[in-house]
Each structure stands twice: as C-alpha cells, then as structure tokens.
Structure 1
Amino acid sequence: MSVANSIKISFKGSKGSQFGKDTYVTMIPFNKLESFFKVFPEVQRKLNKPRVKSIAKYILDGIDKKRMTFLSAITVTCKDDIQYNEELSTIDVDISTIFSINDGQHRSEAIKLAIATLKGNIENSSNKNEKDRLIEKLILLENMTIPVVIFTGIDQKGEQQLFHDLNLLAGKPNKSIALNFDSSDQYNRLAKDLAKNNEQLLRLNIETEKTQIRSNNNQIMVLSTLRNMLCYIITGANKDKESKLNMETYNEFHNTLDEIINLLFEVLPEDASNREKYIIGTAATLQGIGKYLNEVIYNQNNIDWIGEIKKLGTIDWSHRSSVWEGYGGSYIPEKNKFVFTGTSAGINGVYEALKNALKKQ
C-alpha cells in the first residue's frame, strides 16, 4: 500500500466484471480496516455483539494455539471513482474514500475488537516477558490481511439486493456436515478421528452427513451425537468450560476414549443400533451413557473402571425394560417404544437410571 501526493492511495489487486459492473479484488491489512470501511444501517442488519465477540475469540485463539484460522472475503461497494492501473495491477482511490460493507461487518468488527483486546492486554501487563509476547502477537495480527471484493456503480437499492443475495441465498450446511469439515474444535476432531479409526464405531457406522437417523437405519448415531457423547464422557456436561480437552491433552484423551468406546460397545448388545428393539440408538441415551461413564471413570474412586463399564452389559436396554420407568419418559404402547419427554430429560434420566440400577451390583 502506498500514498501518492497525499491524495490517492493504491492497493495491489485485480479487476473484473459481474453483470456489467466493474468488480475489484484486493487484500487489506487488519490494521487498516477502520480507516476505510463503514457500515450504513440502511443496507445492513443490526450488529450482533455476541457474534462479534465469538469471532474475535476465534481470531485470538488461532494466534494463541497456532492453528489454521480462516476469514472469508469482505464484500463492499464504492460510490467514489476507482482507477485501475493495468500495468502495475493497482486499485487507486482517493484517500478519503469510504467503502460500504455489504457482507462481513461482523468479521470487520471482530478484527478491530481482537486488535483492541491485545492492545488492552499489553497496557495492563506488568510482566516484561508477557508484554513482549503480547506485542509480538499484536504485530502479527495487525499485519494479517483479509480479502476484499469491491463492487462499483451500485445504488442503495442495489446494495440492499446485494446484501440479500449474499446473506439469504447461501445454503447453510447441516450440523453433521459442518462438524465433519470443522477441525477448530477439539471435540469435533476427536469425534472424526474415532469415527474413522475406532474398531467398534467402524462396525456400527457413524452417519457424517445427516442430522437425524431413521428408525430402520442401522447406523448407531450421527457425528454430532458422538461429539456430544465424548464431551459428556470427559466433562460430565455438554460443554467443556474448563477446556479439559486441548492440544496438549488431545493424544492422551484420544487413546483413553478409544479404549472406552471399544469396551462400551463390546458389552452392549451387538445389534445396539436396532432402534425398534433398544433405546440405545437415540441421542439422549448415548449422551446419558456418556454422562454416566464420566461419573464412574473420572469422579468416583473406582480402581476397576473397566469393570464398571462392563456392568453396562447387564442392563436390559429394551424399550419395555422397567429400568427406565420414572426417569423422564414413558413407554408408548402404540409405538412399542420408550419415549423421553425431551433430550435433556432423556440424558439425565438415563444417567440416573444407570446410576441407581448399577450401584446395587
């Protein structure tokens, strides 16, 4: 980026066209976004501050954990003149030019928040080594770039249409597909690794593209259920607030969970995925089992936790079993199934039922 005569500013980029409108693509450093980008309420939705904070955390976590992080291009419109230098491949605009954001205001605000957060941490740090480390992160962050697509010759009505087309016509992948392609969350990573390599899960088959499984489907569960089940085993809840599973502990937990899952499905009925016969193949039951495993493996003083897992093979998992009565659901004769009143009720019901049934053994 260079300033010419304090009037024009130039960005390296390329020029194209879409439906008769000139279109430009360039890269803007993070620390220059505030100088050029502006949000006009008439062509944008209201800013969602929690979403901005989540993206900012995603950016800073990417730097802290040195993992791959990706921010897609910001789309803007420019009502001022743009000159394109074919020979130098530069986009030249007046230094006072403002680009109207049509898609990416949350990304833009998150980048600014991430920078401001690091600056605040630097100011508040009294430890020289810590401050130097934070300054290195700030320099790295400020010099990162984000791709920007610039549309020209578009009026306010056109900008509103552009916002609509970019935000409302894009297809959103379902949860299982999203998890299958997401490696930023350690639980997603663990679920995918075990789904591909664990002996019992390979036998029972994990559905990685759908969010639900029909009753007559012989797959044991969807990927998102496996992810949540693993979180319950490790933490006893559906969220890991203490970050027990992280890059440092990943291999240890992977090996332990691989053993636990193999032991579990070795003692459960061989046809555990038969939903007409057993309650096992439901999200609530599997997560409830996960919560119970957390109790006997990590919370109780059980030296023989393998023996505790094997006890699950003594449970009558059929829909007609009296084990589940009084634990958040009921047997529906018309369906020949035991049905929980909700997922949370089912998780806690299975957990309590197993705890009470097996403490007698």
Structure 2
Amino acid sequence: MSANFEYIFPAIRGIQAEREYFVSMCPLRLIPRIFLFDDEELLPELRAQRTLNKGRIPEIARYVLSNRSGYVFSAITASVDGSVRFQPMGADGEASRLGALHVDMSARFIINDGQHRRAAIEQALASAPELGDETISVVFFIDRGLVRSQQMFSDLNQHAVRPSRSLALLYDHRTDMSQIAKLVSLKSTAFKDLVETERSTLSERSRKLFTLSAIHSACSALLEDEEYSDVNHAAEACIEFWGEVSKQILEWSFVRTGRMTSGEIRRDFLHSHAIALQAFGIVGRELTRLHKQNWRKKLAGLGKIDWSRSNAQLWEGRALIGGRVSKASHNVTLTTNLIKKHLGLPLDLRKSGSNSRSTAERHNRNSWNP
C-alpha cells in the first residue's frame, strides 16, 4: 500500500477507446480544493483549457443559490496526472467494475470540461457553505500529457450544440416570462397552432408562422415595467392585445384557414417576422399607457400599413438591410417608430419614474441552463 496520503473516491470503472476511465461522486466542498485551472497567463498552445470567462460565474452561482431544490449540474470531466489505482469490490462480473479509486494527494487534477461550474460552485459555497455536502458527478481520465488533455478538450466541445432558444423556453418551467409566452402561444387566437416551439428559425416549407422565441421577446416588450398579479393575469393581458393585433393583419388568419401558406406570408410580408412582433409589443406597451380606454381603436392603424417586403421604399433601412430582414436593435427601433407614426404616437415616450423592473428582468435572473 502507498505510504503517501490518498484521495479515495467511490467509483465505477469503464472503458472508452481502449482506455480505462472512472465515474465518481464528489462533495461540492472538495471541488474548489482539488480541481485546478491551467495558468491563464500561459500561451493557449501550452494550456488544456479555454480562458475562464469570469462574467459567467456569478450568473451560474445565482442559478444554484436561487434554485436550491431544483438546480442541475452535468458531470465535470477531469484528467488525473499522478499515481492512481483502482481497488474493485470483487474479481468477477459487476463487482470488478465497482470499487474505490485511490489517487495520490500529490497528483494534479486538470478540468477538461466544467471549469465554469467549478468556479461557480466555489462562489456559491461562499454564500451557502451547507451546499458542501451535496455532490456532483465527476468523470476521471488518467492523464497522458498535454497533447491528450488538449485533444480531450477539443473532442468534448466540438460536438456540443446549444438547444435553440425556442426549445430552451419550451422546457423552462422556472421563469415567469417563459410560462407567459407558452400560455400565449397555446391560447391566443392570433398564434394558436401557428407556433414553432422547437426551432428559432423557420424554413420556407414550415407550416408554422411564428417561433416561440419571437413571441417571448414580443411579450417581454409588451409587459415591460408593468405589474401583474400572477402569470395567468399577465398572459391574459398579452392574449387580449395579440387578439386585437391579429384583427388588423388578415394574412395571419389566412394561414389557419388554408388560403395562404406560412411560407408565402413570410416571403411576401414583414408582419409575422420577429422584428415586427417585437415592435408591436413596444408599441402596445406605450399605446395601452397613453390610451387606456381606446387603445383598441387606435390599433386599427396597423391594418393601413403596407407590410409588403416588396415595398423597399418603406422598409429598406428599417426592417430590411439589402432586402434581408434584420433584427438588430436599431432596426427594431426604426420599425417601431414607423408604426408609432401611423398610429399617432409620440416617437420618444419617456418612461415613467416607476422603480419597477421589467417582467423579463425580474423573472429571468434564474434562467441559466447548465
């Protein structure tokens, strides 16, 4: 037996690419102590990790602290550079794969995937030390030098694909705005059966006219700085507004009734694109503030706007750049201003002195998805 002190991890032994690896569970309090980063001042070619993005760390730590009974972490992957031995429970069958991984305390652990999780755990522990008894899964590979560690980093990250924003919103049951957007897409006569919930872009052949991510942004703009008693109350306000909008844009109903395809609408008109929906939300917010009693009547001006993409004189430089739809913030502003002009709204409505934050800001602080 080694005379040196050791870390002992309960572990399962596996084989990948003809190499042994081990899966274990580590208490969170040990993560900052034993897992190290490469020196950030080293040249990239001498490191096995990307430089730590320190701006992400507080966001992830807040996610953990705000969701103590619901946070989720995927496994950390690390290489071990040092003396390692596996002591199985038995010699045959399953017993030969279960046991204890002994790692000399002089060994060096290098994170191949999960350095931001490690830093966020350290920050969260400073605020809530009791989290230290909870665990995170760790996959240990036996280090074979810098080249192998760099290749592992490349392999682990090159095939990682972030989910589309629409799909992330669909599966998000934690933030209010995501729930509002889903309720609106399901119950609104304007959007029902016309919303793509898995993708954030629509193909020419898609039967859907809107994306969930676009509805989320539009509802966030509509509800900004407004106070509602609960999610259902806010969703009902959105449903009422979008129902009135749809009355002014007949082409939306043409898709539902089969008179036109969604591809034709999106090809020939701008009013179903994300930039228009967000502009509608901004205009709706100001319209309902300035004209509480007759905002529906004022909204009738939407139907008098020529939404044809072929009208380059009206839309080029606003919603279109070189004939292509642009969702840049200044394009949203220019499109919003054009709509305001048609509805007789002032172009520079000063926000009230209310200290309330936007619905999106209030409820999306905990929306990080590991």
Shorter chain as denominator, the TM-score bin is 0.7 to 0.9
Match of 2:112 in 1: 102
Among 13, 17, 20, the residue aligned to 1:19: 17
Question: SS state of the match for residue 100, structure 1?
Answer: strand
21-30 or 79-88, larger mean C-alpha shift: 79-88
TM-superposed CA distance for 1:287, in Å, is 0.8
Q: Superposed, which structure 2 residues align to 1:38-57 within 5 Å?
A: 38-41=36-39, 42-57=47-62
Q: Superposed, which structure 2 residues align to 1:285-324 within 5 Å?
A: 285-297=276-288, 299-300=289-290, 302-309=292-299, 311-312=300-301, 314-319=303-308
- Distance in 1 (CA, whole Å) between partners of 2:110 and 2:319 is 56
Check the 8 A contact 2:270/2:307 in 1, yes or no.
yes
Q: Superposed, which structure 2 residues align to 1:1-361 within 5 Å?
A: 7-41=5-39, 42-63=47-68, 68-87=70-89, 89-116=99-126, 118=127, 138-203=128-193, 205-214=194-203, 219-235=208-224, 249-269=230-250, 270-271=253-254, 274-297=265-288, 299-300=289-290, 302-309=292-299, 311-312=300-301, 314-319=303-308, 325=314, 328-329=317-318, 343-359=328-344
Question: SS state of the match for residue 171, structure 1?
Answer: coil
Q: Which amino acid aligns with 2:240?
A: E
TM-superposed CA distance for 1:79, in Å, is 2.1
TM-superposed CA distance for 1:342, in Å, is 5.5
Question: SS state of the match for residue 271, structure 1?
Answer: helix
Check 1:263–1:245 CA distance in 2 against 1; reply closer, same or farther (3 A cut).
same
Check the 8 A contact 1:82/1:92 in 2, yes or no.
yes
Check 1:331–1:113 CA distance in 2 against 1; reply closer, same or farther (3 A cut).
closer
- Distance in 1 (CA, whole Å) between partners of 2:66 and 2:227 is 15
Check 1:16–1:255 CA distance in 2 against 1; reply closer, same or farther (3 A cut).
same
Corresponding residue pairs, total = 319
TM-score normalized by the length of structure 2: 0.74
Cα distance per residue 1:85-122 (max 9 Å; x no partner): 32273322234443111111111011112223x2xxxx
TM-superposed CA distance for 1:48, in Å, is 0.9
TM-superposed CA distance for 1:223, in Å, is 2.0
Match of 1:125 in 2: none
TM-superposed CA distance for 1:320, in Å, is 7.8
- Distance in 2 (CA, whole Å) between partners of 1:153 and 1:320 is 58
Check 1:330–1:29 CA distance in 2 against 1; reply closer, same or farther (3 A cut).
closer
Q: Which amino acid aligns with 1:92?
A: H
Check 1:290–1:327 CA distance in 2 against 1; reply closer, same or farther (3 A cut).
farther
TM-superposed CA distance for 1:266, in Å, is 3.3
Check 1:325–1:176 CA distance in 2 against 1; reply closer, same or farther (3 A cut).
same
Q: Which has the higher contact order (CA 8 A, sep 6+)?
A: 2
TM-score normalized by the length of structure 1: 0.75
Check 1:99–1:294 CA distance in 2 against 1; reply closer, same or farther (3 A cut).
same
Check the 8 A contact 2:195/2:212 in 1, yes or no.
yes
Question: SS state of the match for residue 201, structure 1?
Answer: coil
Cα distance per residue 1:325-359 (max 9 Å; x no partner): 48953899xx9x8x776643442233222222223
Cα distance per residue 1:263-313 (max 9 Å; x no partner): 32234213375234432022211111111011122x32513444444x255
- Distance in 2 (CA, whole Å) between partners of 1:326 and 1:177 is 30
- Distance in 2 (CA, whole Å) between partners of 1:95 and 1:320 is 67
TM-superposed CA distance for 1:216, in Å, is 6.7
- Distance in 1 (CA, whole Å) between partners of 2:204 and 2:102 is 61
TM-superposed CA distance for 1:314, in Å, is 4.0
Check 1:97–1:312 CA distance in 2 against 1; reply closer, same or farther (3 A cut).
farther
- Distance in 1 (CA, whole Å) between partners of 2:148 and 2:227 is 47
Question: SS state of the match for residue 200, structure 1?
Answer: coil
Q: Which amino acid aligns with 2:121?
A: I
139-148 or 29-38, larger mean C-alpha shift: 139-148
TM-superposed CA distance for 1:218, in Å, is 5.1
- Distance in 2 (CA, whole Å) between partners of 1:151 and 1:40 is 17
TM-superposed CA distance for 1:214, in Å, is 4.6
Question: SS state of the match for residue 190, structure 2?
Answer: helix
Structure 2 unmatched ranges of 5 or more: 40-46, 90-97, 256-261, 346-370
Structure 1 unmatched ranges of 5 or more: 119-137, 236-241
- Distance in 1 (CA, whole Å) between partners of 2:201 and 2:316 is 24
Check the 8 A contact 1:207/1:223 in 2, yes or no.
yes
Check the 8 A contact 1:79/1:153 in 2, yes or no.
yes
- Distance in 1 (CA, whole Å) between partners of 2:50 and 2:188 is 45
